A and B are shown apart, each in its own frame.
Chain A
Amino acid sequence: MTAIPSIDLVGVNAVLKTALDAVVVMDTSGVVRGWNTVAERHFGISAMEAHGRRMSDLIIPERFRDAHEAGLAHFLATGEGPVLDTMIEIHAVRADGTEIPVELSITYTEHFGEPVFMGFLRDVSARLEAQRTQQLLIDELNHRVKNLLGVVSGIAHLTARNAASPREFAETFTGRLAALGRSHELLTSVRWERAPLSALTAALLEPLADERERVSVTGDQVELTSRELIAVGMILYELLTNAIKYGSLSQEQGSLAISWETAGGELLIKWNEQLAMKPGEPERRGFGTRMIERSAHHDLGGSVEWDWSGQGLNFRLHFKPVY
């Protein structure tokens, strides 16, 4: 191997050293004659190891080797080199056998004493990975938006059935969308990962900022998935709206206590309304009640209990959060 002299590339090598791309030099017989430090890093092959070996045995995947050798022979015989002085995307193989996608440009030069090919290779795996991630995000966003439209259309349909007038429809519908929006905002802030239940209650109770002294919230630190948060958000919103319209928060002396606890992997959320004047059990099971029951089962795999026997509604929601 040492019999093959290194091309005198003193000046060029100084440049190659600082190049940001991998640079490999090959002579007309297909043998490696130059190899910069980026090439060492990219391919896991040192300049010492590379020097004097056939390029086709080093970084060219087996399936491309015949084409590489044929292309070289064709160029030497005819002077035609379709891959020269242009950029191609191709795969290169590393010492450990893994392949990396690269952008490659090759130039042929006779300026350094003997004719050589210089190959400039850029590892584009990070860029391709970023493109894939971006595509995934776009697909996911598309899916979410479409799904959300389906949900919104469902809310419209179901709200319309229970509304007594267009004005009531508009008011109730907007309120439900706003509640859904608050849950989405919270989830966006945690990149649709888990978020604490306390952050959800804070977001839902925000419009009641001046009622703080009669609304209490207590509970352990519990984090819920996005699906659970959306469902619990809708459930609590329906309870809250009902409390403001007909329940404890409709009376000056009334109060509301929201609390939760976990035991044996199960979460129990309690909603206790205290009224000055005891109301009767509501006669009509409206959208809110049925939505709460359906969502508890469908979204959370849980169950609910309603109790109007005390001074106001005592509601319980049980489910097993996904950990």
Chain B
Amino acid sequence: MLFSHLNAQSDDSSRSTVPAPATTRGSAAEALPLDTAILIVEDEVLIAWTLDDLLTDLGFRDVRVARDSEEAVSLAQERLPGLLICDVNLGKGDDGVATAARIRALAWVPALFITGYAGDEIRARIDQYIAGAPLLRKPIEPQPLQRILRQVFKQERPH
């Protein structure tokens, strides 16, 4: 797995022009709405960056990263994302769940959460705000990420 990207171009500048390698875009991935604007909220830079890379590999073209709740809300106000991916524990300030709730107060946006430990407390905390929102464990692996993305895009917009 580690060496599967050896020949992949990953320079920031080349991202928009060079398509991701065909091998990482299986037929299943084509079901994903790749024009969705994604906002990642994650305090660890390397985790945020890895996630950003994995999403770009899947073919998503519009991925932004916020390091904390304040930056996330301000980026969302600037341009509303079509999907939120929030780390639950963000260090200082509001946690990821409260951040998602703040952004969803602007407009309904599907959300998924990432966490190091998915105990009952975390599940309860998420369900308190966004019942049933999918939860992805760290470290983030490409396959579970794809599965959960498919699941999240099926979330029905409330009428």
Contact = CB atoms under 8 A, between A and B. Distances in A.
A166 to B, nearest CB: 6
A150 B91 contact: no
B3 A169 contact: yes
Interface string A139-165: 000110011011111111110111110
A169 B48 CA distance: 21
B116 A161 contact: no
Interface residues of A, number: 33
B65 interface: yes
Interface in B75-94: 89, 91
A294 B49 contact: yes
B139 A149 contact: yes
A149 B11 CA distance: 25
A231 B2 CA distance: 24
B45 A150 contact: no
A143 B116 contact: yes
B50 interface: yes
Centre residue among B49, B65, B117 by max chain A CB count within 10 A: B49
A111 interface: no
A63 interface: no
B138 A298 contact: no
Contacts of B47: 150-151, 154
Given A150-B47, A299-B67, A163 B12 contact: no
A166 B45 contact: no
27 contacts: A142-B117, A146-B116, A150-B47, A150-B116, A150-B139, A152-B139, A153-B50, A154-B44, A156-B2, A157-B5, A157-B50, A158-B49, A158-B50, A158-B53, A160-B4, A161-B10, A163-B3, A163-B6, A166-B3, A284-B11, A285-B11, A285-B12, A290-B12, A294-B45, A298-B45, A298-B67, A301-B67
A143 B117 contact: yes
Interface in A256-302: 284-285, 290-291, 294-295, 297-299, 301
Contacts of A42: none
A222 to B, nearest CB: 20
Interface of A: 142-143, 146-147, 149-158, 160-164, 166, 169, 227, 231, 284-285, 290-291, 294-295, 297-299, 301
Give the secondary structure class of A's interface.
Answer: helix
B48 A160 contact: no
A159 B106 CA distance: 38
Nearest to B10: A161
B99 to A, nearest CB: 16
5 closest A-B pairs by beta carbon, nearest first, are A146-B116, A154-B46, A153-B139, A150-B138, A298-B45
Contacts of B46: 150-151, 154-155, 158, 291
Contacts of A152: 139
Given A161-B53, A294-B45, A298-B65, A146 B5 contact: no
B45 A231 contact: yes
Contact of A150 (B8, B12, B13, B44): B44
Interface string B92-130: 000000000000000000000000110000000000000
Nearest to B65: A298
Contacts of B67: 297-299, 301
